[in-house]
Amino acid sequence: MTSLIIFYLASCVVLGGGLAVVLSRNIVYAAFGLIASLSGVAGIFILSFAPFLALVQILIYGGAIVIVIIFALMLTKLEDFRTLSDHKHWPIALVTSLITLGIIISTAFYRPANLTSRSGLDLSKLADELFSKWAVPFEMASLVLLIALMGGVIMVRKIDSRDDK
């Protein structure tokens, strides 16, 4: 019973954070809403006996991705945002979103829940697999993200130096 209450609370955090991302006019508040939403997803992973996925959710998505978004915001000129206006294709996006929501809700109601016993994954086997076979691709992905961040900084510096002349 308590896990059901925690699930509902985590779901409210996910939905509230998602709404904050979509409805916020301030991009920094949207980033904070994204952190809240991703933290709620990590809570759902913990309830699903997936502690590794919860840790990855917090560290990589909640930490690294949101920090990259905030760095990108800090490196962007404020004048670039002043010319933005509302998108004219929002009715198409609304219809597409409602169709997707209908498909998700109909799938949830027409597919029976799996009520078998739940069990966790042996983390030592996962760690052995991850750090023996997948260590190099994992490090290459982090190197690509680091190079992309450095490239963004270099591009902004070049643009700023050209504006000063």
> pLDDT digit string (tens) for 74-100?
777 666 666 666 677 878 988 998 999
Residue at a domain's end among 51, 66, 81: 66
Residue at a domain's end among 26, 41, 66: 66
Residue 88 lies in a domain: no
Tell me the torsion sign for CA atoms 108, 109, 112, 114: positive
Residues in the chain: 165
Q: Which amino acid is located at 98 in the chain?
A: L
The stretches of the chain forming alpha helices (DSSP H) are 2-23, 27-47, 51-56, 66-75, 79-82, 90-110, 123-133, 135-164
pLDDT of residue 82: 64
Query: Could you tell me the pLDDT band of residue 163, with boundaries at 50, 70 and 90?
Result: low
* Total domains, the chain: 2
- Domain holding 146, by residue range, is 122-165
Q: Are 73 and 31 in contact (CB under 8 A)?
A: yes
